[in-house]
Amino acid sequence: MIWLTWRQHRLQLLYGAVVLVILTVFLLSTGFGISAAFRSSGLAQCLSVPGRDCGAANDLFMGGGARYSGLWFTIPLFLIVPAMVGVFWGAPLVAREVEQGTHRLAWTQGVGRIRWAGTKVAALAAAALVGTASLAWILSWWSRPFVAASDNRFSPGVFDLRGIVPIAYALFALATGVAAGTLIRRTVPAMAATLGFYAAVRLGVELWLRPHLASPSTVSYPFFGTNPRSGLGDWVLSTKTLDGAGHLLGNGKVLDLNVLGSRCPGLPLPTESLPNKDALQACIRQLGLHVQSTYQPGSRYWTFQGIESAIFIALAVALVGLSLWWIRNRIA
């Protein structure tokens, strides 16, 4: 069965290997230059000193001075790689065989249905694991200067390409493709369904589930005080301005001078004249304004990587289980 799997899927595997080589060459050829620009801009040295203001060096690296800063915007292009595993490897695995009727030939040669499907899925899953693990490792190295400059490993498009989650995404995409092909039994519709379902689940987890994988931490401090958060790379979920009673001031996001003027007698409204600094500070202290920041500590990065990977691997196992059951009981 392993040899048969290779014969049937060798073109897909070879195309995947070619894509991996091309991406690797691109990342290696630009990665050393990015690292050099990171050092020459002074940002690497600046970030090595805790609490130091690195704004100028950061602007030089991320803005105009760094030759490779524009490559930061190529990162989202790599997000489609796991999806393509599902579309081009997973969806045709069963659907194409059923469309062409070749599955019956295998079953009449003494190969059981579960063994037939299980071997094919396992072989492609192993290839997907090796390929995405290699790409994720290279991407983690390549993007390290950009991540250090932005100081946010949780940001969308960065969290999804580094660490171990890309492997889980690829396995989930492959399982989605296998399930779609098994249920739909037509290759092209199965490919479209795979892409749609994969994108929907990924976006749902990223936008709504990921922020709540662990209970967020909350910290409050006076409006003119210092943020007591000590952890670098924290994922800030929300920042609100509250009064002394804990109520939102206006929309809670922007210091609304109209609201301040209505609650502090004598403070001019913005339409009349801008309040002077002393009057504004006195009003803020009178109202007891403070800032409430809700965030996920940066120290939870690998915890989130592990939890999200476990979710997608569990979904992949469930989809493969559904596919095997369907092949055994519903496909003639």
Question: Pick the residue with more confidence: 323 or 285?
Answer: 323
Edge to edge, the sheet with strand 235-242 lists: 217-222, 290-296, 235-242
Among the residue ranges 104-108, 127-131, 286-290, the one predicted with the least confidence is 104-108
Please say if the pLDDT value at position 314 is more than 70: yes
Q: What per-residue confidence (pLDDT) applies to 281? A: 84
**What are 153-162's pLDDT values in tens digits?**
898 888 999 9
Q: pLDDT tier at 273 (50, 70, 90 boundaries)?
A: low
C-beta separation of 177 from 96 below 8 A: no
DSSP state letter for 85: I
**What are 68-100's pLDDT values in tens digits?**
666 767 777 889 999 999 999 999 999 998 888
Q: pLDDT tier at 50 (50, 70, 90 boundaries)?
A: confident
CA torsion angle 51 57 58 64 (round to 10): 170
Q: pLDDT tier at 330 (50, 70, 90 boundaries)?
A: confident
Mean pLDDT of the chain: 87
Q: pLDDT tier at 33 (50, 70, 90 boundaries)?
A: confident
Looking at residue 260, its amino acid is L
Query: Which among 106, 91, 117, 108 is positioned nearest to 328, based on CA atoms?
Result: 117
Q: What per-residue confidence (pLDDT) applies to 211? A: 94
- Predicted model pTM: 0.89
Distances (CA, A) of 91 to 124, 174, 180, 184, 328: 12, 8, 6, 10, 18
